[in-house]
Amino acid sequence: MTESLRISSIDLAQFSESRDRRPTERIPLTTIIPRAWIGFSQAPWRFVGLTALMLITVTGLSLISKDLQQGEGWWQSALSDVLFVATIPTTLLPIVALLHLADQLLPSIQSTAQNEPVQERQRLRWIFRQTTSLVLLEGVILIGGLNMIRIIGALIARQSGVISTVVLLAGGLVLILWTLSQTLALPLLVHHGHRPLAAMEHSRRLVQNNRLKVLALLGLLIGVNLIGLMGAFIGLLLSIPFSALLLMASCRTQTPWVKDSRRNMLPT
């Protein structure tokens, strides 16, 4: 009995040590733009088609919902709310399909394009279910955090307005940092086939190890889409697919100081 407990403790110590020695993942920021361009050039019309479907669906439902809100009947208001809520899944489905397509067409990976159509559809449905769970989970955490900060700030404001302001600022900063840590959760879920909690943890760890690179990536995404907005609808048809490709290219992480870690670093 004592010997078995000693072996279990040794195994646990070895597991903890191996986990602590887990190689640090690095985002190959210098190669994501050429990778994204190569991936886009392989199927530009498929990217544009998915993006157009997403924009038309969201714009159409939003306009119908806005028109119904101006009606005087209660059923018009209820239908307007239903259509507004319906924009979330109808937007999420093209986004997941766009990320999945980008994951397939990016260079230097083992593509799943040769799988049978039935298996591919099953994988897409599985990814969509996990994405829905991820969005719901992160939405609950975000809304719960905002409400908790608001309630705590209101309670403390009765005693001291200064302390209440400090609590609101600190809570808002923590919530912003948490939101930034989940920037890559959805791309990692699509690329690695993670479940929601695993994707959230992987994103947090990856962002923590690549803070400056993630900020640079966010700046790049904002810049690309601002340029797309200058061209209105036509510009977004190009900027949104390119943003999806940049996000999926960021999931091709590299492990420094490990044998063969530089393999597939440069697009081929």
In this predicted structure, what is the pLDDT of residue 47?
92
Residue 159 or 232, more confident: 159
**Tokens (6 digits) for 138:** 């992160």
Report residue 256: phi and psi, to 5°. -70, 155
State the average pLDDT for the chain.
79
CB atoms closer than 10 angstroms to residue 127: 20
- Residues paired with 26 in a beta bridge: 254
CB atoms closer than 10 angstroms to residue 1: 5
In this predicted structure, what is the pLDDT of residue 256?
63
The 10s digit of each residue's pLDDT in 157-200 is: 788 778 888 888 888 899 999 999 999 999 999 998 889 999 99
What is residue 193's DSSP assignment?
A: -
Is the pLDDT at 42 greater than 50? The verdict is yes
**Mean pLDDT on 191-218:** 92
- Candidates 58, 130, 40, 45; CA nearest to 94 is 58
- CB neighbour class for 139 (10 Å; exposed up to 12, middle 13-18, buried from 19): exposed
Is the pLDDT at 37 greater than 50? The verdict is yes
The 10s digit of each residue's pLDDT in 56-115 is: 888 887 777 777 777 666 777 777 777 777 777 788 888 898 999 999 888 754 444 445
- Candidates 187, 217, 244, 181; CA nearest to 47 is 244
Question: What pLDDT band is residue 116 in, cutting at 50, 70 and 90?
Answer: low
CA distance 199 to 247: 14
CB atoms closer than 10 angstroms to residue 142: 14
Residue 46 or 57, more confident: 46
Is the pLDDT at 20 greater than 50? The verdict is no
**Mean pLDDT on 16-27:** 60
Report residue 31: phi and psi, to 5°. -110, 0
CA distance 124 to 131: 10
**Tokens (6 digits) for 179:** 């939101």
Number of H helices, E strands in the chain: 10, 0
CA distance 119 to 247: 24
- The three-state secondary structure class of 115 is coil
51-60, 119-128, 208-217, 221-230: least confidently modelled range: 119-128
Question: What pLDDT band is residue 22 in, cutting at 50, 70 and 90?
Answer: low
In this predicted structure, what is the pLDDT of residue 247?
93
Is the pLDDT at 51 greater than 60? The verdict is yes
